[in-house]
Structure formats: structure tokens, C-alpha cells
Structure 1
Amino acid sequence: MEIRKLRNEEFEDSLSLSEYAFQYKVSGEDRVRAREKFKPDQIWGLFEGDGIGAQLTLLPLQACIQGRPVSMGGIAGVATWPENRRQGYVAHLLTHALKTMNENGQTLSFLHPFLIPFYRKFGWEIYCEYKKYTIPVGKFPQKTEIQGTVKRGTPDIAVFQQLYNTFAMRYNGTLLRTEQWWKERVLDEDTHRGVFYSEQGEPEGYVLYKIVNQELIIDEFIYVNELARQGLWTFLANHDSMLTAAQLKLVPADDILPFLLPDPRIAQENYPYFMARIVNAKAFVENMTFNVPEGDRERLLYIEDKHASWNNGLWRWNVSEQGEATFTQIQGERSEADLECSIGTLTVLLMGYKRPHQAARYGQLSGTAEATAWLEALIPQAETALFDFF
């Protein structure tokens, strides 16, 4: 068995595996473009005998945590042939990917799971969810007189980037997009674009949307203030003669649009989305800023991490008067810990998706009531979101 990066000449083998595993076909010009975009240095393959037995893509990305960029390894395209399944091939690749990310300084990893229980075994855990709304045209937000204008068209990517960054920094777990990401993953040719400008000519929000079978499909709705939100909705509501309904996708979990509607009774879905995993606990914790708890500023935490030995064990967690953490691995028994959890639980607690008191109540965090209260006070309140897919 050999695990290595793919080579240029292995494009066809790699694409054939992806086509089979994900049940799609790439032909003609699309296949030529796929060949041009092929990045073998980002794809790890497991070889045993002839050809690729399994593969995954490891993307070098950055995520936003507490308004700061964190190096993140995005795992995508995990695939194996059916005759190779249940033989541990993907497990070997994931373990190898963790080691690689750790060596590369990627302290965090995201993936979109084909099966959540499978990836939970390796330490990834759901860290965000999104809402999806379907709003009949008769229940659209009310049109208002807006001081500002919405312009359709294609402004410079820098305009989108500025607005997206301002909005995305409110959340933990959003992706920091590059110009290439915008061009290849966000702004496709079929998407209409509307940007809200204030009376002073400043861009303050945008909407990316399509109109399909008399439905408004809103892919992204970004605003930096309430005026922009109302202005964009008034612009969309002016399409009412063309539409029967609107669908909003990838809406952050803390969104309250239904409450703001004249009639809030619309179809709503909540969908668990991406999974996250701390790759290097020491680096991740020490990069965060914490609330300063009253009294003792130190506790012992035991982390269970079966697939990243550098995280597994007993840690001394100390927080300074400035909220800076020192996270030191020490020798000791599990029984000495004030708190105990898995690497997956620690991930969602630090990102803000769940709170320590919730994790303790349902058996995901063990420890004394005092220590749990200490951790509850320590971790700042936060919301999580992700507007992308890979």
C-alpha cells in the first residue's frame, strides 16, 4: 500500500474514479476544462496493485475564527471503488491527511460529509447549519422607500469581496475567499448580481440570484446594515409580476427574516451542513482570545483523539488577564482532568456552535459542575456559518 500525491498523467484515472463514485459524467469541452484545472499536487491517492484504490482532495484554504484568518485544510472528493470499500482505504487517507495538515500548519479542517456518522469516527463534527426559506410572492417583505439604489451588472470583484468579508467576519467558520475562488466557485455566468449603494455611492450589500421557472433562487444575500437589507429586498420584490415564489439558500442559522415578514408562516428548513475538526489543539487554542473567568484561571482538560496522537491526552489550560491562552500537554492520568471531551466536541465548543452547558447536559463533556461553569464563562458567544461548498 502506498499513499502519495497524484501525477499529471493520472488525470483520467482520477476523473474516472470520481465519475463512478459521485455518479456523473464529464465529456467534451467540460472534460478539456477539467484537465486544465487538474491539480495533482492537491490530490492524495492510495495505491495497492494497479491504479488508484481511493483518493481525496486536500485544499489549502483559510477560515475566519474570531475575525481572524486560520489556515484550514478543506477535504473534498473522497472516493473509492466499491470493491475497495470497507477495507480501511479511506481511513488510511484521512489519517494521512491529518498528519499532512499538521505538518503544514493547518490547525483546522472542514469537509462536507456523505455520511455524518462515518466522519465522526475520525474526529470531525457538525459545526454549522443553514436555513432554507421558500416565500410565496404574496408574503415577500414589504417594499419601502429606500435612500439608495440597486445596480445590476458585474462590479469589480473587490466590491463583492469587501462586502462579503464584512458580513462573513461576524461568524466563525466562514471561508476567506480569494479572487480565483470568486471567479471559479461563486460568480458563474448564469447568476444575476445586484449591488445596493447608499446615497453617498458606497456599496453596502449585494444579492446573487437566478430566475428559474418563475422562482427567484437567491444564492447569496449579503448586507452590512439594515438599510441595505431593505433596499435589496425592495429590489427583489419589484420582480413580483414575474414570480410565484422565492427560495433562499444557505441562510445563516441566526437569521430572523421570517419574524420580519408581514406573515411569518413560510416553509423553513434547517439543514446540518459542514463538519469541522481541530487538527492541532495547542495551536488552535493559543490562537484564540477568551473571556477571563473569575477566580481560578487554570483547568486540566483531557482530550480524546484516536487519530491525531499529538492532541490525545492531558492538557493544562491557562488564561491570562488579557484573555490569551497557554495550552500545555502534560503527563498525567485521565482521572486527574477537571474536564474531558473528544476532539470533535472541543471543536464545536470553541467555534461556538454548541455551548459547554449543552455538551455537559447530554454527555458530550464530562467534568465537575464548577469546571463546566468555568469553561462556559471562558468561551465567547459566537455564531457559525458557511456560504460555500467544496
Structure 2
Amino acid sequence: MEAIGMSADEQIVSLDLERFEESMALSQFAFQFKRSTSELEEIKYNFIHEPADRWAVLIDGQLAAQAAVLNLQTYIAGRPFQMGGVAGVATWPEYRRQGLVGKLLVHALQEMRVKGQTLSFLAPFAFGFYRKFGWGTYTDAKTYTLLVNQLPKRTTYSGKIERVSGYERVAEIYEVYASQFNGSLQRSPLWWERRVSKRKPGQIALFTDIDGNGQGYLIYEVAKRELNIHEFIYLNEEARSALWSFVGQHDSMIERVVVNAPVDDMLTDLLPDPRVKQEIVPYFMARIVDVEAFIKLYPFTGGEEEQFYLKVTDTYAPWNTGEYMIHIDVKGEVNVSRDPQLFKPDNALELEIGDLSTLMLGYRTTAQLSSLNRIRGPLHAINRLHRRIPERTTYLLDFF
């Protein structure tokens, strides 16, 4: 599709391999890093092989701005959704504050809609900037820092822990774990090989139960007397206890442990003294790309047959702006209509696209949005909608 509001000397084009060096020059400048020749070859491999759409704004034939949309999948209430992961957004300084990134984002949203990517995630350089374009915060990053004397007590356990190489035996465990949350990635073998291995180096410790079934794992590294756990994944309490006991076996060589966890994690309930360092910071943002398509796929909670009426405002994806009648049956199956004859304005809930996104992903509840006046409408309709949205914690273990 043609981008909105482009001037005569501006053009949005697909960023192909011929412009790889130009793209890397802009990325290294904008993100203030310098890559070696071997590292650039690694990035080039990803450029060629990772499923993605890459876009550039050319002005008078020169690269002015760029962005990539990775073709990814994410879990919502256990169901995989196609998601466009926006990454690598950059502009040369002489072209900044001319609206080029906004034009790239609008173009990317149009293309994501065509591809059936009903959601989009990104890691913002500035939350306020992307909030203007309809993205809303959807997950936080929680980090514990524990001194050795603050670790959970070691316990005896059935099963065993072994160090393994490669990801074949832990990938299946990850998918079961990730599907319990909203907003975690469904990882492909290429993602494990090219992304996880590079961002999360170190040892892999696998826990198997007495029947030999994998129930949890750690990816971690030790340096300068600190044990940094990149992934602490467990499918049951036995696995969690065993993995913490394994972490405790490193006590003679470390002073502290750093570990990431879901925001509602209850580790402190297991500690003799819960007064440990915890840090929670906003992490990624999410946006519904196509409201009608997303709602039709959304796994609402079962209940009585009923209708909801939504009035959505979306400035930068105008196909979403409008009125929706949503019929949900007893099993949670959905029918959506935009027929104005069926819409009942007196029962309608009104909200912006970013707030709808945080609501449907479970980061905010209807009560929270109502208290901020970000969802408006009859209280009975707000409460009924709350009951149909599955309760899931949002969590993302990856970065892009």
C-alpha cells in the first residue's frame, strides 16, 4: 500500500540486501554500537534468513529512516497469534522531526494488516512517542537480586538435573511454560539458534522427573562472582524447588544471584526473609493492528450468551475506528458485526486503541482503565466485559 502523507521526494521501499551496508551504518550510528566484521556477517545472516519485512524511507534516493517488522507469533490465553515485532527503527539526524518514523509506522501497520498480523509489539526508546501511535505498555520486567544468604533453602528432590547442550530438550518445556502467559513468544528453531543463543550465553541445566520427563530448566552464566539467570523455567513446584537447590550449589563461587521473573512471581513467599531487592520496570509495548480480526480470534471466557458494544478510536490505523457489536456465546466463541443497525450506543464502551490493547492482553483491567477514565460506558457493561477476559499475566522473556 502507498504510505500516507509522503512528499514528492520521499519514498517508502522494501529494504533489500543491496542496502545492507547503508542500513548497518545507520543502525550503528543511531544505537551507538560498533560491530566487527564477523558480527556484521552474523547480522547479515539474520537479515537474509529471519522472516521479516524491512522498510526504508528514501529522500532523493538516499536512505533517511528505516524499520523492520519481524514475523513472529505470540500467545494470548494459550492461543498463538500472528504478531509483527517492530525493531531497528532509526533515522539520520538531518532527517529527524520530519515525521518519517510516523510514516514508516503507518506503512508497517498497513502491511501487517494485509499479512494477518493482528498484533504488534515493540521495545520503545520513548514510551510517550509510541503511545501517540497507538501502542500501549503491555508487560513489565521484574528482576530479583539475591545475596547468597538470601537464596531459598536447598531441598532434596526426586529426578535429576543435568547440563545439556543445544535447545532441543528445553524448547518444548519453554512452549508449555510460555503458553501460560499473554505476550510470550512462540519460538521457532531459528529464533533459538540466532536470538536466544546470542543474547543468553552460558550453561543450560535441565531438570527431569523420575520418569525422565523434562519439567524445567535454567539458562545461566557465572562471572565476577555473580550468577545471572537468563531463563528460569519450571512447569511445577517440584521443578522450581529442584532448580533453586541447584542454584544454591554454586554458593562457594558467587556472592549474588540475578534472575528475571513474571511480575506476579511469588518467590519472596518462599524465602526466610522476603526483604530482597526487587526491581520492576515497564518493558514492551503492544498494539492491536486489526480490531475486528483480533476480536474474532480472541479466546473469551465462556459464560452466558451476551452482546457487547465497543466504540474504538484509532488515529493511525483508521480501519479500526468505529463501532462494533460483539456477540459471545456460552463457549466464548465470537461473532463481530460493524452494522450500525445492530449497534446500541447507550450500552457502548468507548476507548482508544492503546487502552483496548492493554486491556485485551491482560496488562490492565476494566476497573483500572475506568478509574483513569480510559474506558467509558455503563458500569454493568464494564463489569460484564471484565468477566469475559481471561486472567493471564503478561510476560516476555525475549528482546528484539
Please give the alpha-carbon distance, in whole angstroms, between the structure 2 residues aligned to 1:26 and 1:163. Answer: 34
Residues 41-50 or 256-265, more deviating: 41-50
Choose which of 305, 312, 322 in structure 1 pairs with 2:314: 305
Please give the alpha-carbon distance, in whole angstroms, between the structure 2 residues aligned to 1:378 and 1:234. Answer: 40
What one-letter code is carried by the residue in structure 1 that aligns with 2:381?
A
Partner of 2:191: 181
Choose which of 32, 37, 40 in structure 1 pairs with 2:46: 37
Asked whether 1:159 is paired with 2:187, we answer: no
Counterparts of residues 85-234 of structure 1 (less than 5 Å): 85-154=96-165, 156-188=166-198, 190-234=201-245
Residue 385 of structure 1: how far off its partner (Å): 0.6
Return closer, same or farther for 1:315/1:201 CA change in 2, 3 Å cut-off.
Answer: same
Choose which of 56, 64, 80 in structure 1 pairs with 2:91: 80
Q: TM-score by structure 1 length? A: 0.95
Return closer, same or farther for 1:301/1:37 CA change in 2, 3 Å cut-off.
Answer: closer
What one-letter code is carried by the residue in structure 2 that aligns with 1:258?
T
Please give the alpha-carbon distance, in whole angstroms, between the structure 2 residues aligned to 1:115 and 1:354. Answer: 20
Over residues 201-225 of structure 1, what are the superposed CA-to-partner deviations in whole Å (9 max), with x where a residue is unaligned?
A: 2211100001111000000000111
Structure 2 residue matching 1:341: 3-state secondary structure: strand
Partner of 1:260: 270
Residue 32 of structure 1: how far off its partner (Å): 2.9
What one-letter code is carried by the residue in structure 1 that aligns with 2:275?
R
Residue 81 of structure 1: how far off its partner (Å): 0.8
Over residues 317-366 of structure 1, what are the superposed CA-to-partner deviations in whole Å (9 max), with x where a residue is unaligned?
A: 11112211112223389965621001111111111111111111111101
Counterparts of residues 332-371 of structure 1 (less than 5 Å): 338-371=348-381
Partner of 1:66: 77
Extract unaligned runs of 5+ from structure 1: none
Residues 32-41 or 87-96, more deviating: 32-41
Asked whether 1:53 is paired with 2:68, we answer: no
Question: Do the aligned residues in 2 keep the contact of 1:58 with 1:75 (CA within 8 Å)?
Answer: yes
Residue 293 of structure 1: how far off its partner (Å): 5.2
Please give the alpha-carbon distance, in whole angstroms, between the structure 1 residues aligned to 2:46 and 2:301. Answer: 44
What one-letter code is carried by the residue in structure 2 that aligns with 1:300?
Y
What one-letter code is carried by the residue in structure 1 that aligns with 2:294?
F
What one-letter code is carried by the residue in structure 1 that aligns with 2:196?
V
RMSD across aligned C-alpha pairs, in angstroms? 1.7
Residues 41-50 or 162-171, more deviating: 41-50
Structure 2 residue matching 1:272: 3-state secondary structure: strand
Please give the alpha-carbon distance, in whole angstroms, between the structure 2 residues aligned to 1:55 and 1:206. Answer: 37
Residues 373-382 or 311-320, more deviating: 373-382
What one-letter code is carried by the residue in structure 2 that aligns with 1:22?
F
Asked whether 1:279 is paired with 2:325, we answer: no
Residue 123 of structure 1: how far off its partner (Å): 0.6
Structure 2 residue matching 1:302: 3-state secondary structure: strand
Extract unaligned runs of 5+ from structure 2: 1-9
Residues 23-32 or 39-48, more deviating: 39-48
Choose which of 12, 21, 31 in structure 2 pairs with 1:12: 21
Over residues 39-86 of structure 1, what are the superposed CA-to-partner deviations in whole Å (9 max), with x where a residue is unaligned?
A: 396310011114211000110000011211111100000000111111
Counterparts of residues 13-28 of structure 1 (less than 5 Å): 13-28=22-37
Question: Do the aligned residues in 2 keep the contact of 1:313 with 1:334 (CA within 8 Å)?
Answer: no
Question: Do the aligned residues in 2 keep the contact of 1:302 with 1:337 (CA within 8 Å)?
Answer: no
Question: Do the aligned residues in 2 keep the contact of 1:197 with 1:205 (CA within 8 Å)?
Answer: yes
Structure 1 residue matching 2:376: 3-state secondary structure: strand
Structure 2 residue matching 1:323: 3-state secondary structure: coil
Residue 114 of structure 1: how far off its partner (Å): 0.4
Over residues 112-144 of structure 1, what are the superposed CA-to-partner deviations in whole Å (9 max), with x where a residue is unaligned?
A: 000000000111001111210000001111000
Percent of residue pairs identical: 40
Question: Do the aligned residues in 2 keep the contact of 1:303 with 1:314 (CA within 8 Å)?
Answer: yes
Please give the alpha-carbon distance, in whole angstroms, between the structure 2 residues aligned to 1:112 and 1:301. Answer: 28
Choose which of 283, 301, 305 in structure 2 pairs with 1:291: 301
Question: Do the aligned residues in 1 keep the contact of 2:219 with 2:231 (CA within 8 Å)?
Answer: yes
